[in-house]
Structure 1
């Protein structure tokens, strides 16, 4: 899992049937120690009604993402699965 900030959304006119009824978000990945950008962005399916500016928990692993969606073997890798109230890293953690 990763921490990120929602910076936008993706609007599509056509998408794979597995994505029907989903909202796609653009998420800037963050270093959990200081919440500064890592320079990486991902497109993720929103499962928690997150909005622009929200700090979120991101699953970026296909099998875990498919398990959360419960849709079987579909082309899904990245999901937003939580909105963070706060982020704390224990001192000395090797993140």
Structure 2
């Protein structure tokens, strides 16, 4: 799983079978400090995340397990981050 920030949405009226009614978001991977941590990805969202929110994203085969087998999904938002806490030793990296 990765930590990310929602930076946008994608609308597609023509989608593969199994992707109907799915909201697609553009997610920027981030570090726990909020710094960019890689290229943006597209993730399916069924929980209602919005622009600017920090989210937890599952990728690869674990992301596919919550969708029908025919859905070509490789990233999904699995949580909206309310807060996070990092230990003092970890904060000194």
Is the shorter-chain TM-score for this pair beyond 0.5, marking a shared fold? yes
* TMscore range, shorter length: 0.7 to 0.9
1:66 CA drift (Å)? 1.4
CA contact (8 A) 1:66 1:73 kept: no
1:73 CA drift (Å)? 4.5
Take 2:19 and 2:8, find their aligned partners in 1: how far apart are those partners? Answer: 17
Take 1:4 and 1:39, find their aligned partners in 2: how far apart are those partners? Answer: 10
1:23 equivalent in structure 2:
23
Take 2:69 and 2:14, find their aligned partners in 1: how far apart are those partners? Answer: 21
2:41 equivalent in structure 1:
42
Q: Which runs of 5+ in 1 are unaligned?
A: none
1:79 equivalent in structure 2:
76
1:10 CA drift (Å)? 0.3
Q: Report the TM-score, using the length of structure 2 for normalisation.
A: 0.87
Take 1:27 and 1:45, find their aligned partners in 2: how far apart are those partners? Answer: 10
More strand by share: 1
**What count of residue pairs does the alignment treat as equivalent?**
91
CA contact (8 A) 2:19 2:71 kept: no
When residues 86 and 10 of structure 1 are mapped into structure 2, their CA distance, relative to the original with a 3 A threshold, is: same
Q: CA RMSD in A?
A: 1.9
